[in-house]
Amino acid sequence: AGIKGMDPVMHEQLTRDEIERAEKDPKYRLKLKESTVRIPERKRTKGPRYTPLSRRHDRPNAILWLVRNHPELKDAQIMRLVGTTKSTIQQVKDRTHWNIAQLQPMDPVTLGLCSQIDLDFEVNRSSKDKTVQPAEAAHTLLPAEVTTAKETLEPFAGFTTQEAEVSEEKIDVDSVFAKLKQLKNDD
């Protein structure tokens, strides 16, 4: 652990000639050449991680936010994201937490308790496991066949063709334009 030393000549970052030039001339600046050997970075180990004291009081707020906004998350996933215990999660869910009156749902990413990538990964993982429930299906839109089907009702279904013909026979063209002729004659 800690800082590990590395030989720049062995890892082909510097040549012996470059080092000798720098030893002879104190104003000469070493020029690193591109390394052909890649040194792998240490990956962070999974598991419980240290949360500073100043952020520990934010855990219940983050749990409340996760429970409200992502109810599909399992307790184990919330434990991994926030770094808390199952009993704390259960207390927040049951609203029996000692500080429940002051809790406000806050995003764990903005609180710095987990990264957005970790949160998205857990949400996607839990959404794959979850199947669509029949109660949720009731709140969907109607299918296109139902909404775009042609109506079988005719707009003039109450009228018969005989009534339409009778009403047309009653109209006399001369009587319709008779008043117009009178108005024209008055001028």
Indicate whether 71 belongs to any domain: yes
Domain that holds residue 15: 8-38
Q: What is the pLDDT of residue 55?
A: 86
Indicate whether 152 belongs to any domain: no
Task: Specify whether 74 is located in the same domain as 123.
Answer: yes
Last residue of a domain, which of 132, 155, 179? 132
Chain position carrying tokens 């215990």? 85
Kindly tell me if the per-residue pLDDT of 77 is higher than 80: yes
23, 17 contact by CB (below 8 A): no
Q: What is the pLDDT of residue 122?
A: 92
Q: Tell me which range, 24-33, 101-110, 169-178, is most confidently predicted by mean pLDDT.
A: 101-110
Task: Specify whether 59 is located in the same domain as 33.
Answer: no
Which amino acid appears at position 38 of this protein? R
Q: Model confidence at 144, in pLDDT bands (50, 70, 90)?
A: confident
Q: Which conformational region is residue 85 in: left (phi greater than 0), alpha (psi within -120 to 50 degrees), or beta? A: beta
Arithmetic mean of pLDDT over the chain: 80
Structure tokens at 165: 């013909």
Task: Specify whether 31 is located in the same domain as 67.
Answer: no
Task: Specify whether 34 is located in the same domain as 60.
Answer: no
Q: Which conformational region is residue 2 in: left (phi greater than 0), alpha (psi within -120 to 50 degrees), or beta? A: left
Indicate whether 117 belongs to any domain: yes
How far apart, in whole angstroms, are the C-alpha atoms of residue 53 and residue 175? 98
- The proportion of the chain whose per-residue pLDDT surpasses 90, expressed as a percent, equals 38
Kindly tell me if the per-residue pLDDT of 62 is higher than 90: yes
Task: Specify whether 83 is located in the same domain as 125.
Answer: yes
Q: Which conformational region is residue 83 in: left (phi greater than 0), alpha (psi within -120 to 50 degrees), or beta? A: left
Task: Specify whether 78 is located in the same domain as 119.
Answer: yes
Kindly tell me if the per-residue pLDDT of 124 is higher than 80: yes
Alpha helices in the chain (DSSP H): 16-24, 53-56, 59-69, 75-78, 86-94, 108-111, 116-129, 134-137, 144-147, 161-170, 173-186
Indicate whether 150 belongs to any domain: no
pTM, two decimal places: 0.48
Alpha helices in 71-172 (DSSP H): 75-78, 86-94, 108-111, 116-129, 134-137, 144-147, 161-170
Task: Specify whether 32 is located in the same domain as 65.
Answer: no
Task: Specify whether 26 is located in the same domain as 59.
Answer: no
Q: Tell me which range, 90-94, 137-141, 176-180, is most confidently predicted by mean pLDDT.
A: 90-94
Kindly tell me if the per-residue pLDDT of 153 is higher than 60: no
Supply the DSSP symbol for 187.
-
Task: Specify whether 25 is located in the same domain as 96.
Answer: no
Last residue of a domain, which of 92, 108, 132? 132
Q: Model confidence at 107, in pLDDT bands (50, 70, 90)?
A: very high
Count of structural domains within the chain: 2
